[in-house]
Amino acid sequence: MMKRKIKAVRSDELVFQNVSESGMTLEQVKERILAFMGKDPQSEYHFVIGTDSQVFRGHTKFVTGIIIRRMGKGAWACYRQVVVPRELRSIREKLAVETSLSQEIAACFMGGILEEMEETLLPYLYKGAVLELFIDIDAGTHPTINKTSQYVKEMVDRVEAMGLYAARVKPESYGASAYANRWTKKSV
């Protein structure tokens, strides 16, 4: 049996982009999120992380989206892409890697940045300010529509074991099934 080396990713190795910026560090992403929230701290916010993938000839592309959504009033988003140099054909393996990549990014936000996000809204708690945290899983529960349905419970349990983040699946999981999906379509 072949042993795989698992390498932890340092936060300074993470690189993000969106339609207007590229090469953003995790620290810059955090700054953009706090600035976005600071413009309207009396609003309801959803902080969403979700990953989708696409298999191409010789590789599989994973895209993890980070979205701060001001409910009914816009959003700011960015994404990170990771390329695995082989074609992942197993639905369970792809879903497990997608969930792991989302959890990796979610873990980078636990602690300091989430506290700063909450502190931005805290003075407006009784004026409508809300912050909800989600990890969106690109899986659905309906067995005749979604081949992923048999793995939903396993992936949801993994996310919920982290604490803090609520797990969402299709059709609510727009972070994975819509935003991240949009950026998986082009081969690298």
Asked, for residue 174, whether it belongs to a domain, the answer is yes
Asked, for residue 43, whether it belongs to a domain, the answer is yes
What are the two backbone dihedrals, phi and then psi, of residue 72, each rounded to the nearest 5 degrees? 75, 0
Asked, for residue 99, whether it belongs to a domain, the answer is yes
Asked, for residue 162, whether it belongs to a domain, the answer is yes
Measured in Å, how far apart are the chain's first and last C-alpha atoms? 30
| Residues in the chain where the model's pLDDT stays below 70 | 1-12
Q: Would you state the pLDDT for residue 5?
A: 46
Expressed as residue numbers, the domain containing 155 is 13-184
Asked, for residue 40, whether it belongs to a domain, the answer is yes
Say what the pTM is. Answer: 0.92
Report how far residue 100's alpha carbon sits from residue 51's, in angstroms, rounded to the nearest whole number.
Answer: 9
Ramachandran area for residue 58 (φ above 0: left; ψ -120 to 50: alpha; else beta) = left
Asked, for residue 3, whether it belongs to a domain, the answer is no
Q: Would you state the pLDDT for residue 144?
A: 76
Report how far residue 123's alpha carbon sits from residue 42's, in angstroms, rounded to the nearest whole number.
Answer: 9
Burial class (CB in 10 A: 0-12, 13-18, 19+), 187: exposed
* Secondary structure (DSSP) of 94-140: HHHHHHHHHHHHHHHHTTHHHHHHHHHHGGGGGGT-EEEEEEEEEEE
Helix and strand element counts for the chain (H, E): 6, 5
Report how far residue 50's alpha carbon sits from residue 178's, in angstroms, rounded to the nearest whole number.
Answer: 9
Q: Would you state the pLDDT for residue 3?
A: 47
Asked, for residue 8, whether it belongs to a domain, the answer is no
Asked, for residue 124, whether it belongs to a domain, the answer is yes
Nearest of 77, 27, 18 to residue 47 by alpha carbon:
77
Report how far residue 188's alpha carbon sits from residue 172's, in angstroms, rounded to the nearest whole number.
Answer: 28
Question: Would you say the C-alpha torsion 22, 26, 28, 31 has a positive or negative sign?
Answer: positive
Q: Would you state the pLDDT for residue 6?
A: 43
H helices of the chain, where?
A: 26-38, 91-109, 112-121, 152-161, 174, 181-184
Number of domains within the chain: 1
